[in-house]
Amino acid sequence: MAAESWTVRDKVCVVTGATSGIGEEIALGLLRQGARVTAVGRSRERGEAALARLRRESGNPNVELCLADLSSQEQVRGLAARLLEQLPRIHVLVNNAGIVNLRRELTCDGLEATFAVNHLAYYQLTMLLLERLRACAPARIVNVASDAHKFAGGLDFSDLQNERRYRSMKVYGQSKAANILFTRELGRRLEGTGVSVHCMHPGGVATRLAQQNGRFAKLITRAISIFMRTPAQGADTAVWLATAPELAGVTGRYFYSRREHTPAAYARDDAAAARLFEVSAKLVGLPAE
């Protein structure tokens, strides 16, 4: 597709974590450009409130809610099945939902929760929807990563579940490094298919992220929010990656404030990217295509 002909008007877009924060603003930005959006969230109450706001502020009624807890692989599979049943076409997938845990927690699948939600859910949902995206090419995948990947110091494949030692920001950083590595490897595998994939750093954004960690965490995040970007500012680059005509034919890159940036060296390790792809497939029970 020629660069000047790409538009999301009347295109079908799926956005995870779309009932608050950055994800809600990504959905709003896409709706304002005429897209049809499926907003994925965990809470029906929060989701219905978000849909009312999205319709009101965008003037676009074409947004629907799909509920799923992305910490559960069964629910990710169920979500993908519902999307494939309800959406004959999917043109854009934005993987945005994420968590930060101050203490190590396990999902219902027995996996460390931050890695499971922030990386494995991106991987699993993308791979389950990939055939539909390919069939609808040109199509785009946007992964919300973070410069917090620089806290990781690389991925320890002998302890991806952080059983030996748990440091919350390092664990979060590892999940964000995984987002970048996944983007690089998937971009390599999708070359020539018409499906592009990019990741981005939203900046430090005042959202609900980490507020589930108790009263003290809520107080801290609220106190520093005045120094942080708004969710709309954090969402801007993701919306641009999904909509910009000039990005046609470009894939596998990392962006911040609409400019390409170079991530840490260990997030550019193609051998690690390929290995993570294979390990992730095994952890979610999918073939490594």
Q: What domains does the chain contain, in order, with CATH numbers?
A: 3-281 (3.40.50.720)
What's the mean pLDDT in 125-137?
A: 98
Q: What percent of the chain has pLDDT over 70?
A: 89
Q: DSSP letters along 64-84, please?
A: EEEE--TT-HHHHHHHHHHHH
pLDDT in tens, 213-228: 445 444 444 534 444 5
Which phi and psi angles does 185 have, rounded to 5°?
-70, -40
SS3 of the chain: helix, strand, coil, percent, to 5: 50, 15, 35
Q: What pLDDT shows up at residue 5?
A: 83
Residue whose C-alpha is closest to residue 113's, from 101, 97, 96: 101
Residue 33 pLDDT > 60, yes or no?
Answer: yes
> Residue 230 contacts by C-beta under 8 Å, 6 or more apart in sequence?
205, 206
> Residue 192 contacts by C-beta under 8 Å, 6 or more apart in sequence?
none
Give the Cα separation of 115 and 98 in Å (integer).
Answer: 9
Q: Are 101 and 18 in contact (CB under 8 A)?
A: no
Give the Cα separation of 2 and 235 in Å (integer).
Answer: 25
Pairing of strands 63-67, 36-41: parallel
pLDDT in tens, 41-86: 999 999 999 999 999 999 999 999 999 999 999 999 999 999 999 9
Q: What pLDDT shows up at residue 221?
A: 45
Task: State the CB neighbour count (10 A cutoff) for residue 2.
Answer: 9
| pTM exceeds cut of 0.85 | yes
Residue whose C-alpha is closest to residue 94's, from 25, 32, 14, 164: 14
Q: Is 47 helix (H, G, I), strand (E, B) or coil?
A: helix
Give the Cα separation of 139 and 16 in Å (integer).
Answer: 17
pLDDT in tens, 145-194: 999 999 999 999 999 999 999 999 999 999 999 999 999 999 999 999 99
pLDDT mean across residues, the chain: 92
Largest Cα separation within the chain, whole Å, is 51
Residue 212 pLDDT > 70, yes or no?
Answer: no
> Residue 253 contacts by C-beta under 8 Å, 6 or more apart in sequence?
183, 187, 198, 199, 260
* Active-site annotation holder among 122, 123, 166, 172: 172
What's the mean pLDDT in 195-215?
A: 70
- Assign 203 a pLDDT band (cuts: 50, 70, 90): confident
Residue 240 pLDDT > 50, yes or no?
Answer: yes
Active site residue 172: yes
What's the mean pLDDT in 94-106?
A: 95
Q: Is 265 helix (H, G, I), strand (E, B) or coil?
A: helix
